[in-house]
Each structure stands twice: as C-alpha cells, then as structure tokens.
C-alpha cells in the first residue's frame, strides 16, 4: 500500500532525485508544479474536462467509469514512463488533492513492483505550504550595487565559495530592467516562481545567511512574495561600489552580443524616463555602433533611479564596499570576510 507523506518529508526525501511524478493534466502542470516533477498526466486537458462534466451532471460513479475507459489503454505506457524515472526502485506521485488520480496511479505502480509514496492532500497542500513559507524568518544578506556592478557574477562566485545563494533573477528568467528579458528563456508563471523560491529556501540551512540580490518588488512581471519582500526591506545590505567607467565597460561586454533591434526595443521602453532627446541620442549612438555611449546614457538614468530608491528606504542598514575593478572573485572573498 503506498505511503502518504506530509509536504516537508515528501519534498526533502525526493529533492534533486528527479523521481517525482505529477499526474495532473498538462494545463494544471504548466500553471505550477512541485519543482523537479515530471508530468505524466492521467488525463489530457480535454479528457479531464469530460470527466469533470460527467461528475457534475451524472455523479461520481459515472465519472469513474468514464475515467477507467480513458485510462485503460494508457496503463502500460504510463508504467513504462514511470519506470524510467524511478530511483532505487522508488517514485513519488501526487495529483491536485491527493485523491483518486494519484492513488490509482500509485496502486498501479506498486502492482508493477515499484516503491511509491504519495503526497498528503496533493499539490494543493504544497501551494498552501509554499505561500506561508515566505513568512518564516530568514537570515538574509542583500547584495546591492548600481546597474553594471556584476551582482549576478558576484552571487555565483559567492555560491562557488560555499555561501548560500538564491538567484531571484535566475528564477524569474529576467534581469530586472528594461533590458532584463534579453537572452532569457520563457519566464515561469508567478505560481511557479513562488514554488521554485519556496523549495530553494527549504534546501537552505536556516542557521546560516542566505545571499539575495537587492531587487525591486517586481522582477520583470514576477512579484517577490510579500513575506519575503518585507524581510528583504529589513535585511543588511552589502553595497558594491564600482566606478562609472568600470560599469559601462561591463555593460558593453554584457549587452554587445545582442542584436541591435532588440537593444533598440529595450531603450524605447524607458523613453518616458530618459526623455525624448536622450532617447534619440541613445538610439543614434546604438545605430552608429557606439555601444559605449549608448550604455553611458542609459546608466545615468539607472543610477538616478537606483539612488532614489535606495535612500528613500526606512531603517537602511547599508555597508559600503568600494572597489576599483569588477573582479567577482576578489569582491566575493571580501564580502565573506566582512559578514
């Protein structure tokens, strides 16, 4: 008989193993899922709608019979797919409420000979857990700096050196500015962003500091959950202070690889903030392949915006770290030494 686990044990036991199966429909899975899960749907989107309609109109028994008609021909294929994901002959299976879908699939897989665990109250319980988890106190350190300071590079270096890091921009698939979508893959839904963020923190040692980049509440179109955002506003800030020229050089290198049309579209997004004249100068420089001037114009705007936001905060706990060069290794080691 499959054993039902509570949410924390289900996530901790299965984390990183790649053997979690979500048997909900593809549409449900796309909206949000347990990070690392694989979708092996019991019903397609259309089939789920049919069974649901029968349940409402004719009752539970009729819906079960229709479900069995649909699932019967799929059973062998489902077992074969699941078998490929099993680690040490073990699988973790869930559906929306931890009911018939996951229960029937777990029974089938155990009949085949696999060890199967299910999730108590299903994905719905995970979502409740994820949303409340952001209110749990976290030991946060914020990495701050003006645009072009290489904060993502520094975060990655901190991680290499053994620090706990959550890359918010990496999870959001957006670098947090008008240019933030350049080079990124399709962003997650808000729901999935929250799910990934929850599990990242679950895998952290709560006794140690966790480094986050000092972000605005919105990263692209993704919203940092309120409980986490409140704690970020109260966290200590390590401010990496680099010269303007050094940051311009970094941005030229970082964005020079993108097509001119994409860069122009990004510049046009901040026309109201740059002003018509500055926008015109910026795009003219871009078309003349003078990316340095383009970056200088944009950076002056972002510097003003950043300083305004930073110094309007209440209870600002900022420690300034000036550097002459953007050397992620040197900067990361200095930040660790002065925690």
Residue 161 to residue 294: CA distance in whole angstroms: 35
Residue 25 to residue 171: CA distance in whole angstroms: 24
311 by DSSP, 3-state: which?
helix
For 128-159, letters b (16+ CB in 10 Å) and e give: ebbbebbeeebebbbbbbbbbbbbbbbbbbbe
Q: 226 and 134 in contact (C-beta within 8 Å)? A: yes
Residue 162 to residue 194: CA distance in whole angstroms: 24
* Residue from 95, 282, 295, 298 carrying the catalytic annotation: 95
Selection from 13, 53, 46, 21 nearest residue 202 by Cα:
13
DSSP string, 261-276: HHHHHHHHTTHHHH-H
Q: 150 and 243 in contact (C-beta within 8 Å)? A: no
- Provide the token pair at 170: 């990496």
Selection from 250, 248, 206 nearest residue 231 by Cα:
206
- Catalytic, 95? Answer yes
Active site residues: 95
């Amino acid at each position: 008989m499959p054993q039902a686990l509570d949410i924390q044990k289900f996530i901790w036991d299965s984390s990183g193993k790649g053997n979690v199966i979500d048997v909900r429909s593809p549409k449900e899975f796309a909206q949000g899922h347990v990070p690392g899960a694989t979708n092996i749907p019991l019903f397609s989107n259309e089939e789920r709608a049919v069974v649901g309609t029968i349940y409402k109109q004719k009752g539970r028994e009729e819906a079960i019979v229709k479900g069995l008609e649909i699932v019967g021909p799929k059973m062998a294929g489902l077992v074969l797919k699941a078998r490929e994901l099993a680690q040490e002959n073990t699988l973790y299976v869930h559906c929306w409420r931890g009911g018939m879908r996951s229960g029937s699939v777990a029974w089938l897989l155990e009949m085949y000979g696999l060890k199967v665990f299910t999730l108590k109250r299903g994905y719905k319980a995970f979502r409740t857990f994820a949303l409340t988890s952001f209110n749990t106190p976290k030991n946060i350190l914020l990495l701050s700096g003006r645009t072009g300071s290489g904060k993502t590079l520094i975060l990655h270096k901190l991680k290499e050196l053994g620090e706990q890091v959550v890359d918010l921009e990496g999870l959001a698939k957006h670098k947090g500015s008008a240019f933030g979508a350049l080079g990124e893959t399709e962003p997650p839904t808000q729901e999935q962003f929250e799910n990934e963020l929850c599990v990242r923190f679950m895998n952290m040692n709560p006794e140690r500091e966790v480094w986050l980049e000092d972000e605005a509440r919105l990263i692209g179109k993704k919203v940092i959950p309120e409980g986490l955002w409140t704690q970020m506003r109260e966290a200590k800030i390590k401010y990496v202070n680099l010269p303007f020229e050094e940051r311009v050089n970094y941005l030229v290198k970082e964005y020079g690889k993108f097509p001119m049309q994409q860069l122009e579209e990004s510049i046009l997004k901040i026309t109201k903030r740059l002003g018509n004249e500055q926008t015109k100068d910026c795009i003219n420089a871009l078309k003349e392949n003078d990316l340095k001037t383009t970056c200088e114009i944009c950076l002056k705007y972002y510097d003003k915006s950043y300083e305004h936001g930073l110094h309007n905060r209440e209870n600002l706990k900022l420690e300034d770290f000036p550097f002459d060069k953007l050397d992620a290794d040197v900067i990361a080691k200095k930040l660790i030494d002065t925690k």
